[in-house]
């Protein structure tokens, strides 16, 4: 399997398919490259699709440390540099979008466009300006559950991701992906989501931005997308009427078409 070493002793798994303009897909919390199956299978006929697993997730190495936005973003920076990726579109889902925001505004980004898919932007916890999403107490409870009843918690989390009915086996597929992430990466990344506010980075984006979000998202409520769209210069908000937290799965054909329209 193909790997790139992003720091001594830490290798990230990746896959590349197709030719043309490059799209880098970055998954969310406890997920893996596999979630982008409906994008790769469709878009690789026209684009060069690159998918990877973040450290601690999927088939990548699972070190004990490094589960911060600084390190996640540096991993992306090192990966893209070693792979020679230039002028690419960064597509980040959920936590992957937050990592992308950090990467694009704070490091030597090679991305020319940015797509936030149900992104954790600017933060995850309900606050005064955005009284939506989980409370800090709720996330602390999730962390405790991750330590003692992880499969049960993960099942509830996955069930909550989707809006459309009759997705039993899709949920099973995503559940199995989640369980490949190490428990330590899951817990440390939950703490990261709980404690980080990226509000100061939104106005610093200098490349075209598309914000794509399911209106029925129960993980990162749609109000976060509206808030970000008002504060990221020149961004375009696209809503998905029949999706929860994963419109690229629930409305994959519509999602792919809109992504192609944005990339060109």
- Can you give the pLDDT at residue 122? 96
Number of domains the chain is built from = 1
Secondary structure (DSSP) of 59-95? TS---SS--SHHHHHHHHHHHHHHHT--SEEEEEETH
> Is the distance from CB of 10 to CB of 28 less than 8 angstroms?
no
- CATH number, domain containing residue 191: 3.40.50.1820
> Is the distance from CB of 54 to CB of 60 less than 8 angstroms?
yes
Give how far the C-alpha of residue 105 lies from the chain's centroid of Cα atoms, to the nearest Å: 16
- Can you give the pLDDT at residue 226? 97
Q: Which residue has the tokens 């899709």?
A: 170
- According to DSSP, residue 167 is labeled -
Kindly tell me the sign of the dihedral angle through the C-alpha atoms of 113, 162, 156, 50. negative
Structural domain for 89, as ranges: 3-263
**Residue-level pLDDT, tens digit, the chain, 264 residues:** 799 999 999 999 999 999 999 999 999 999 999 999 999 999 999 999 999 999 999 999 999 999 999 999 999 999 999 999 999 999 999 999 999 999 999 998 999 999 999 999 999 999 888 899 999 999 999 999 999 999 999 999 999 999 999 999 999 999 999 999 999 999 999 999 999 999 999 999 999 999 999 999 999 999 999 999 999 999 999 999 999 999 999 999 999 999 999 999
Structure tokens of 168? 């039993």
H-helix or E-strand spanning residue 252: helix 252-263
> Is the distance from CB of 78 to CB of 108 less than 8 angstroms?
no
SS3 (DSSP) at 51: strand
- According to DSSP, residue 200 is labeled G
Angstrom distance (rounded) from CA 96 to CA 29: 7
SS3 (DSSP) at 192: helix
> Which residues fall within 8 angstroms of residue 222, CB to CB, at 6 or more apart?
213, 214, 215, 216, 239
- Can you give the pLDDT at residue 129? 81
- According to DSSP, residue 84 is labeled T
251 by Cβ neighbours in 10 Å (0-12 / 13-18 / 19+) ranks as: buried
- Can you give the pLDDT at residue 78? 98
Structure tokens of 140? 């602390």
């Amino acid at each position: 399997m193909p790997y790139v070493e992003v720091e001594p002793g830490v290798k990230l798994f990746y896959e590349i398919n197709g030719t043309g303009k490059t799209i880098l897909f970055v998954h969310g919390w406890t997920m893996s490259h596999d979630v982008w199956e409906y994008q790769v299978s469709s878009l690789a006929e026209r684009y060069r699709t690159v998918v990877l697993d973040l450290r601690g997730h999927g088939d990548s190495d699972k070190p004990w440390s490094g589960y911060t936005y600084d390190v996640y973003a540096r991993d992306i920076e090192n990966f893209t540099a070693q792979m020679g990726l230039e002028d690419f579109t960064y597509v980040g889902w959920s936590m992957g979008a937050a990592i992308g925001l950090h990467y694009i505004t704070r490091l030597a980004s090679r991305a020319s466009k940015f797509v936030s898919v149900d992104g954790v932007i600017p933060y995850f916890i309900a606050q005064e300006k955005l009284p939506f999403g989980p409370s800090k107490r709720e996330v602390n409870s999730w962390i405790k559950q991750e330590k003692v009843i992880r499969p049960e918690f993960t099942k509830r989390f996955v069930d909550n991701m989707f809006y459309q009915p009759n997705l039993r086996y899709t949920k099973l597929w995503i559940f199995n992906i989640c369980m490949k992430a190490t428990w330590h990466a899951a817990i440390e990344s939950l703490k990261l989501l709980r404690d980080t506010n990226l509000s100061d980075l939104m106005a610093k984006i200098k490349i075209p931005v598309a914000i794509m979000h399911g209106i029925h998202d129960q993980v990162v409520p749609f109000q976060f997308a509206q808030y970000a769209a008002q504060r990221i210069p020149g961004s375009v908000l696209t809503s998905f009427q029949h999706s929860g937290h994963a419109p690229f799965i629930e409305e994959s054909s519509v999602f792919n078409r809109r992504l192609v329209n944005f990339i060109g």
